[in-house]
Structure 1
Amino acid sequence: MKHLFLLLTLLSFSLTALAQQKVTGKVKDSSGEPVIGASVVVKGNNTMGTITDFDGNFMLDVPAKSVLVISYIGYVTQEVPTAGKNSLEIVLKEDTKTLDEVVVIGYGTQRKGDVTSSVASVKADNFVKGAVKDVGQLIQGKVAGLAITNPNGDPTGSTQIRLRGTNTIGGANTAPLVLIDGIPGELGTVAPEDVESVDVLKDGSAAAIYGTRGTNGVILITTKQAKGVDINQVEYNGYVSTSLIAKKLDMLNADEFRTLYPDQDHGADTDWIDEISRTPVSHVHNLSLMGGNSKTNYIANLNYASRQGIMKKSDFESFQGRIEVTHRMFDDKLKLKFGLFGKKNQMESTTSGGSFRGWVYGQATRRNPTDPVRNEDGTWNENVSKFEYENPLALLYEAEGNVKKTQLRYNGNIVYNPIKDLTLSAVFSYIRDNMNRGYGETLNHISALRDGLAGWSSVGAYTKMEKLMELTAQYNKEIGAHKFSVLGGYSYNETDFEELWIDNYGFQDDYFGGWHNIGIGSALKDGKANIGSKKTPTNLIGFFGRATYSFKNRYLLMGALRYEGASQLWGTDNAWGLFPSISVGWRITEEAFMKNQKIFDDLKLRVGYGVTGSQPKDPFLGVAMLKYGSYAFVNGNWVQTIVPASNPNPDLKWEEKKETNIGLDFVSWGGRLSGSIDYYNRDVDGLIYEYGVPTPPNLYNKTMANGGTMRNRGVEVLVTVVPVQNKDFEWSTTGTFSLNSNKLISLSGSIFKSDYDYFNTGTVEYSGQVADSHRVQVGESIGNFYGFKVVDVDSEGRWIYEDRNGELVNYKDFTHAPEDKHVIGNGLPKWYAGWNNTLRYKNFDLNVTMRGAFGFQIINGGRMNYENVKNSRFENRLKSVNDLVFGKHTLSPEVEPEFNSYYVEDGDYWKIDNITLGYSFGQVGKYIKSLRIYGSVLNALTITGYKGIDPEVSTDGLTPGYDTRDRYPSVRSFSFGVNVKF
């Protein structure tokens, strides 16, 4: 028996050996060069494989009649049968998918290899993962030149976006144009889980086709679509997350406070920040259903999000659904698409018209930690005699409110191909937005106890309706080496905005009064309530065209033109504007002299020029407006007068941006290295500004007119490298860099002249006082801080100042006059960088996103308020209040609180923004096609020398870089999620 077993064992080994064959081979590219590191794997068995050596050779024992799969980045994957072959020679063909990748542009798409403008594209695979709250956060750090800031941790907030610097001084819109599948929207309109790709039109030649809405950039969001034939798929994405405060201010605790100020010891030990905060739990669920056949397909998407803020009573809930049906008929010559989108948002409100009131956080920060929350009788511990000193828990719980928003959108698209190469398209959409809000304060609220505003309440509502119709015709033709396309179109966009509001107080109790029954407050009867309404209709009409030409895929040309008029300039001579653009491209690698080089697979030079406009932020700025004024006694009655509110200006026109862009795109070494470099110069002429004018002859003392000029110049770099790619391990890394230089060239035009070459804007708050924070000045960059410059302290701990002449002045002799102020910093980062890494090891994947901002300063509102020893003794302070100023002395109690350069800090930071680790199971059982689980950390680590809670502060508008005292703190989020396809 023992011998028989041995014989069978040897026989099995022999049969196995006979079933195996040794295969050797060489992998080359089309030029005969060896492909080093190519993956050679037996099809259906990923554990049986190897990679090619430095000469492109490989050796592998494989089962008889097997098929080898040979792959390498930048080349088309090949499958080679081994039956009857012991030696193989494989030639891999270059994969042109990088060049053939489709990029969304204005009113269409284009091959990436044919693009001649500055356009960035981010696909779903490269999105930021984890607990993101809008589409802006999905692409944060992914697009060079696109500064996306998340200035606080409020779940109801949105990201701020600035493309290629600041482009206005306040008279025009600053937000980029956001289009969702071609329909106007916002970054928070669509659920991040429902997005397939985001494309950004960055330069003037790309954005000019959108005319007056293109100066601040165009963001094209493409949602997920049903694709293919005989589709039948259900996909679920969901995650649960929690958060913690990323960094707290280092305030005195109760023991430290009572040691310093024993006369203010009230016996308690209260952590006020802990009292108003919590450990939040949020969850998001997204269900997508796709189905159809060769003629009809559909996608239905449902999304539910429940987001709790780190602060109590800062919750956000959203439910939205989208369904889209596409039908093809007449031999696919006609395609009909219909879409329906609905959304409902609701958030708690601790302030009128908003979500969480930042004042609550500020009060918790400054509150004496020895104060109890409540008195012995259970009432709130409140002292109405102390200025701006309020119990934060009472502010939260003696007020209630919510904000509800709904949106309903219908859209349709008809595409008809009457003949080959001709496409006619019609897009229609109707959007209706509604908002209803209510907020009320009880009779125990500080506003009633101290200010006499018993039960102050507010309600409001608005309705916005938007209609869009766009008709286009496009003809594409390819004749030999010549390829061209021509597009023409018409666009009509109409909006109607209506709003009303009522503020009232003087309620007798909390049961029958308040915002649910706002009309019974006595202030309304006494004529002290605030009631108002307004209606603003606008429309925009545009005619546009574009032509592209390509010769041998080597020489590329694109030109576009838009002629547009808008009601914002109704009553002027310039309601219509013309916005042209042109761009050219040269694919250098298609030239004969580049055929023998081995470095570049593709090298393309781009040059573009385009003109875009910016709409005035308010309507009817060019016509005379009237308003109600004071009362006059006429014929025995008091009559309210009507007075001028603005002067007419028939010459008012768009702000006009002229931009030149020079770019270089490259792909090297089979796609292992790729990227782009861009240089731009954008000049904005005719900045809208309010000029002082004499009265008479003018009706009003100010006139809105075009006068100033602003310039932005910059460089943007994007580089992607794939250092490793084989069957088990892959690493792809992308770096971005952008540099911007901004300057205000002029504040005056040919007709209207500014009295000064500067104006002050923005305010900072400290110890109940307010001061100007920023100055906009000709010859300088936007974002300059303007305040007193301190350079030292004297032996008593009092400031020593430097005046405008460079002379040192001691504290008692310094006049604190406005002319003594300096530029003491700038809140706009000079350059940004990002580093994104994607790694895969077998079924594990790891994504790490990092980004940073450099070359800017921050006004530290926390230190300015909580490091001054002259603040009221009953208020809390930072532990650093007793630090040596300039390393010499503590600050003297004699020094009054003020805004000066000591509270301005360098804001440079580098963030490990997102870390996501996932595992993919592939197909599980009969019904699960794929399953992936992941864990994610958002805002994982910040490296900075800044002493505040987070250097990522607002960079919006003309007042960037101010870290306000009452800012909702930044959070660090931890998520666990699952993605499953059925």
Structure 2
Amino acid sequence: MKRNLPIPPGWIKMNTAAALFQLIVVAALCLESTAASGKTGNRPSAGIPGSLYRQAKISGIVTDESGTPLPGVAIRIKGATNGSVTDASGKYNISIPDNSATLVFSFIGYTTQEVVAGNRTTLNIRLVAVETSLNAVVVVGYGTQKRERVTTAIASVKSENFVKGAVQDAAQLVRGKVAGLNVITPDANPTNTAQINLRGITTLTSGTSPLVLIDGVPGTLTTVAPEDIESIDVLKDGSAAAIYGTRGTNGVILITTRKVHGETPATVEVNSYVTTQKITKRLNFMNAEEYRQLVAQGKPGAFDYGATTNWLDEITRKPVSQVYNISLRGGSQNTSYIANLNYRNMEGLILRSDNKILYPRIEVTHRMFGGKLRLNANLSGYQQTFFAGTDGDSYRGDVYRNGLTYNPTDPVKDKNGNWTEHTDKTAYANPVSLLMETDGKNQNSNLRTLGTVTYTPVKGLDVMLLGSRDLYNSVRGYYETKRNYSTLRDGRNGYASRGTTRTEENLLELTANYQKQINEHDFTLLGGYSWRETNYQDYWMQNWDFPTDDFSYNNIGAGLALARGEAPERSYQSRNKLIGYFFRLNYSFQNKYLLMASFRREGSSKFGRNNKYGNFPAISAGWNIRNENFLKTSKVISALKLRGGFGITGTEPNDPYMSLNRLNFDTYTLINGEWIQVVNPATNANPDLRWEKKEETNIGVDYGLWNNRITGSLDLYRRVTRDLLMDYSVPTPPYLYNTIRANAASMENKGIEFQVNFAAIDRKTLKWTTSLNYSTNRNKLLSLSDKNFQLAAGYFDAGTTEEPIQQPIARIQIGQPIGNFWGFKSVDIDKNGYWIIEGKDGKPKPIADQQADDKQILGNGLPKHYLNFNNSISYKNFDLNITMRGAFGFQILNTPRMFYAAPVMLTRGNLLKSAYDNIYGKRPLADDQSLNYVSYYIEQGDYWKIDNITIGYNVPLKNTTVKALRVYTSGSNLATFTKYSGVDPEIGVTGLTPGLDDRNRYPATTTFTLGVSFTL
């Protein structure tokens, strides 16, 4: 006898997304059909109405999210009075009048769930707990945990609390929301991402970006569309991040994409918004009439070419950007799906700067065998296209710089229609020509496939196998025409570049998680294995001297430079592996005394043969004081937990072959009139190369007052990073090469983080919640040497001021923090307009008599204090969100002022109006005073920003297919209160030269957004 295949509840309601899932799980369904032979769920025979076979009762089990039965859950028929209650095992049964009846499941502390009965006799329900400060679930390494039992420093931000309005990446969603996580947006380049600094700078040469995991798989801040993110969790301290070993030193950001929880009818959500921008602040350069006054005064370098041109206006526009996000989701008790499509068309303030991205994602989850087996398939990625303003990048810095400094009396084109150019000046080019005589495009694609199989053989034990492949491809092309400045300056006569990059990252992880409660003891054990392989490939080629511009970069072999042996080519490939074994124990006694211990042993092919493996232990403990008898009756203290932890994490170097001897084939020597390729050493082998190791201690307290009307946390931490990687000079011989990368330095960061959340007003029609967070960090370099490798001077210099000054910007010195500006301290100006500086003896001296040892610390570019203030107000159908933030206790090197407030630069173009202001109230600088890096150009950088204001209205709807409709408007970077004279004091805080306001940086903007979202 032929038996019909059982159909999961709600299957026939699914659309194309669910149909795709049929291809994935059809075999599993066949297995389930065999195992469930004779059970309910079969369709009636063809030709017989299904209602004749309808049973009058529905039964099932109601559980929580972990699968624990819930007794006392109320079940009723919507619109009727009859109902039922679950028994001690969570079981229930209830009579229903017809197939269209809707069952309502409600229980104190859980979200009420409504389910249409349909053609079912068995209906099992999972209720989701209402989130409070105590039972809120946060994502931790390889799992989740209730906030009440967390013993480490973890911050969690849900989607409803994200920064509203237009954002470019995931980090901007939590800007100002997490104490100690500093998210900086230094410019408005549409292809840039935010800079992240978590608890200070911890490295000298390695990367500073945190590990970003999207649904457990490594990615970047732009791997997923911001509108498709459900929550972001930040593992801040070492005891939380140690489970990730070598990748956890800079912190871990766990991004969870939107999911379907429980039975959900097919739902369509649409969110769309349009934005425009304006430049935040224009630097006050001279216009044409003011410049002509300099010509009339006979100032050296000033020439009047007869035109009136606003060059900044010529290279900028009023951009209009659009974002569309469409999400389809639904599910039954056994099968859920979500399909999301996001399209972003971002226009930049500068002409031709753009960024077009398409993000597709589809995820399907299926439960079978009574929920014991769970299958999840996730397919996502993006396609990105943007104009390449320079070779391989979207933005060419000298376009903006020349837009400020090009002579305002010069026309854009001369009378013959040619671009006006002056090749006799250094670093001086027509900015419109640089844009228009360039053709370039970058095309990037990312495909991420992720699958998990989770098996629960016994209650409390979950065994999960995760496999993923992340494939990234980039194809780039760039061309400078025969009319480009490079032809006039360098004789290129048409220049082309072509290149491609491919990165493949494969990940396989097997984990087992076991939860067990024995009387008042709760145990959670995690064990796992992780294998990751990364393969990177890149090549590029260049050519110039083309017969025509018609081919652009698409016929690169037509250039003559390659045939003459002048054009370079390069290709490269690398591969590395990372293998880890890890274990974690979480223990709770009476929900009062908490313990977490973890250990990860990890091996990497990037390190020397003597240090392939490293150990990364962590331990933390907590005391839920509120659960003690002496506080149980307190009406003031509703939550109080003391916690402390210690953990060790590591940092990988970027280059996978630094521990090996490498040869260089790029040099040639002339022997007997013939150029012969020479093989020479490129690096020294270092078999002792190992991880940078960060040891961190964290002590914190979580609190809640007056029934959690006020909640928050306080953390104090100290982190010491040892075995920092640096390049050291070594003798040759015995070494083959004169430098070696080795682990020898150490650094300290310590600080305080404080957060308070206050539900100020909580009424039916009026609600106001406010939060304030503060963080401070102190950084100090402890050492630059060890017993094997020494830096005798005890310091090294970093950064450069560019020509014509060409001096180091910062000094990295033992006993001092990273970010110290190092230069001459200006104290006065003499009667002839020349700088007077302070000598090493503290006495003033002419700058012409400067000595290297006259330099001193002039300030520091790392803010010592960060303060963020967030407010959310709702009144009836209106809502208002205001985000404010600030940074204090730091200085900025104003390089635009240093270069363009000096009269001598008139020979290179336009100047700031302040170039002829009195210095120290005496007189302007002399016309021939050379450019100098002095303290006069270092300014206080403190600022306070009204960062975002969003006003929304939820339109009331009745008798319509639209379930929800919201319109909103938003403004970002609206106002900045600062004494800094530059464009924007929000500048980079990473690397060894923080606080540098680059004169070439893409300008900052104020953004205005109008959006609508609705649900069907």
| The one of 737, 740, 752 aligned to 1:700 | 737
Whether 1:521 and 2:581 are equivalent positions in the alignment is no
SS of the aligned residue for 2:537 comes to strand
- Structure 1 distance, partners of 2:907, 2:446, is 50
Q: Give 1:806 deviation, angstroms.
A: 0.8
Residues 272-330 of structure 1: per-residue CA shift (max 9 Å, x gap): 00000000000000000002211111000000000000100101101110000111100
| The one of 682, 694, 697 aligned to 1:657 | 694
Corresponding residue for residue 838 of structure 1? 872
Residues 105-140 of structure 1: per-residue CA shift (max 9 Å, x gap): 000000000000000001111111111000011111
Pairs within 5 Å for 1:396-435? 396-435=435-474
Whether 1:152 and 2:163 are equivalent positions in the alignment is no
| The one of 737, 752, 759 aligned to 1:722 | 759
SS of the aligned residue for 2:418 comes to coil
Whether 1:849 and 2:883 are equivalent positions in the alignment is yes
Residues 781-813 of structure 1: per-residue CA shift (max 9 Å, x gap): 00111111101112232211101221111244x
Pairs within 5 Å for 1:957-972? 957-972=991-1006
Whether 1:329 and 2:368 are equivalent positions in the alignment is yes
| Cα contact 1:797–1:890 (8 A) shared by 2 | yes
SS of the aligned residue for 2:490 comes to coil
Whether 1:820 and 2:854 are equivalent positions in the alignment is yes
Whether 1:221 and 2:244 are equivalent positions in the alignment is no
TM (norm. structure 2) is 0.86
Corresponding residue for residue 561 of structure 1? 599
- Structure 2 distance, partners of 1:481, 1:450, is 79
| The one of 484, 493, 501 aligned to 1:454 | 493
| Cα contact 2:211–2:248 (8 A) shared by 1 | yes
- Structure 2 distance, partners of 1:727, 1:660, is 43
| The one of 776, 788, 805 aligned to 1:739 | 776
Pairs within 5 Å for 1:662-701? 662-701=699-738
| The one of 177, 191, 195 aligned to 1:142 | 177
- Structure 1 distance, partners of 2:215, 2:667, is 50
Q: Give 1:520 deviation, angstroms.
A: 1.4
SS of the aligned residue for 2:313 comes to helix
Whether 1:112 and 2:147 are equivalent positions in the alignment is yes
Whether 1:576 and 2:619 are equivalent positions in the alignment is no
Corresponding residue for residue 35 of structure 1? none
- Structure 2 distance, partners of 1:466, 1:632, is 40
Q: Give 1:595 deviation, angstroms.
A: 2.9
- Structure 1 distance, partners of 2:585, 2:972, is 44
- Structure 2 distance, partners of 1:638, 1:279, is 55
Whether 1:711 and 2:745 are equivalent positions in the alignment is no
Of 915-924 and 473-482, the range deviating more from structure 2: 915-924
Pairs within 5 Å for 1:493-642? 493-512=532-551, 514-569=552-607, 571-628=608-665, 630-632=667-669, 638-642=675-679
Whether 1:122 and 2:160 are equivalent positions in the alignment is no
- Structure 1 distance, partners of 2:313, 2:273, is 26
Of 936-945 and 870-879, the range deviating more from structure 2: 870-879
- Structure 1 distance, partners of 2:885, 2:991, is 22
- Structure 2 distance, partners of 1:740, 1:922, is 47
Whether 1:901 and 2:935 are equivalent positions in the alignment is yes
Corresponding residue for residue 363 of structure 1? 402
- Structure 2 distance, partners of 1:634, 1:281, is 61
| Cα contact 2:635–2:707 (8 A) shared by 1 | no
| Cα contact 1:264–1:874 (8 A) shared by 2 | no
SS of the aligned residue for 1:125 comes to helix
| Cα contact 2:547–2:558 (8 A) shared by 1 | no
Residue identity opposite 1:809 in structure 2: K
- Structure 2 distance, partners of 1:75, 1:909, is 43
Residue identity opposite 2:581 in structure 1: F
Residue identity opposite 2:754 in structure 1: V
Pairs within 5 Å for 1:286-297? 286-297=325-336
| Cα contact 1:917–1:935 (8 A) shared by 2 | yes
Corresponding residue for residue 791 of structure 1? 827
Q: Give 1:76 deviation, angstroms.
A: 9.4
Q: Give 1:167 deviation, angstroms.
A: 0.4
| The one of 909, 914, 936 aligned to 1:880 | 914
Of 613-622 and 826-835, the range deviating more from structure 2: 613-622
Residues 759-799 of structure 1: per-residue CA shift (max 9 Å, x gap): 01111135x44221111110000011111110111223221
| The one of 281, 286, 293 aligned to 2:320 | 281
- Structure 2 distance, partners of 1:261, 1:869, is 13
Residue identity opposite 2:187 in structure 1: N
Q: Give 1:488 deviation, angstroms.
A: 0.2
**Structure 2: gaps spanning 5 or more residues:** 1-77, 80-107, 113-128, 297-301
Residue identity opposite 2:782 in structure 1: I
- Structure 2 distance, partners of 1:235, 1:75, is 27
Change (3 A) 1:545 1:416: same
Corresponding residue for residue 99 of structure 1? 134
Q: Give 1:631 deviation, angstroms.
A: 2.7
- Structure 2 distance, partners of 1:765, 1:225, is 50
Corresponding residue for residue 772 of structure 1? 808
Change (3 A) 1:864 1:376: same
- Structure 2 distance, partners of 1:631, 1:469, is 45
- Structure 2 distance, partners of 1:241, 1:906, is 32
Residues 636-666 of structure 1: per-residue CA shift (max 9 Å, x gap): 8542111111111211111100000000000
- Structure 2 distance, partners of 1:738, 1:296, is 44
- Structure 1 distance, partners of 2:218, 2:980, is 38
Q: CA RMSD, aligned part only? A: 1.7
| Cα contact 1:264–1:873 (8 A) shared by 2 | no
Residue identity opposite 1:388 in structure 2: A
Residue identity opposite 1:947 in structure 2: S
Corresponding residue for residue 188 of structure 1? 222
Residues 821-872 of structure 1: per-residue CA shift (max 9 Å, x gap): 1111111111111000000111100000011111111110110111001113
| Cα contact 1:316–1:345 (8 A) shared by 2 | yes
| Cα contact 2:646–2:696 (8 A) shared by 1 | yes
Whether 1:256 and 2:295 are equivalent positions in the alignment is no
- Structure 1 distance, partners of 2:323, 2:345, is 6
- Structure 2 distance, partners of 1:697, 1:297, is 65
| The one of 455, 477, 482 aligned to 2:516 | 477
- Structure 2 distance, partners of 1:532, 1:96, is 55
Residues 511-544 of structure 1: per-residue CA shift (max 9 Å, x gap): 24x3111111111011111100000111110000
| Cα contact 1:435–1:461 (8 A) shared by 2 | yes
Residues 31-57 of structure 1: per-residue CA shift (max 9 Å, x gap): xxxxxxxxxxxx99xxxxxxxxxxxxx
| The one of 314, 321, 326 aligned to 2:353 | 314
- Structure 1 distance, partners of 2:371, 2:414, is 76
SS of the aligned residue for 1:257 comes to helix
Residue identity opposite 2:585 in structure 1: A
Residues 361-404 of structure 1: per-residue CA shift (max 9 Å, x gap): 00110011111111011111112222222111100101110101
SS of the aligned residue for 1:763 comes to coil
TM (norm. structure 1) is 0.89
Corresponding residue for residue 422 of structure 2? 383
Report percent identity of matched pairs. 48
| The one of 972, 976, 980 aligned to 1:938 | 972
| Cα contact 1:665–1:676 (8 A) shared by 2 | yes
Change (3 A) 1:429 1:596: same
| Cα contact 1:131–1:241 (8 A) shared by 2 | yes
Residues 894-931 of structure 1: per-residue CA shift (max 9 Å, x gap): 31111111110010011110000000124443211111
Corresponding residue for residue 21 of structure 1? none
Change (3 A) 1:195 1:629: closer
Residue identity opposite 2:649 in structure 1: T
Corresponding residue for residue 342 of structure 1? 381
Change (3 A) 1:795 1:769: closer
SS of the aligned residue for 1:623 comes to coil
Q: Give 1:77 deviation, angstroms.
A: 11
- Structure 1 distance, partners of 2:707, 2:532, is 46
Residue identity opposite 2:150 in structure 1: V
Residue identity opposite 2:256 in structure 1: T
| Cα contact 1:922–1:929 (8 A) shared by 2 | no
| The one of 454, 457, 468 aligned to 2:507 | 468
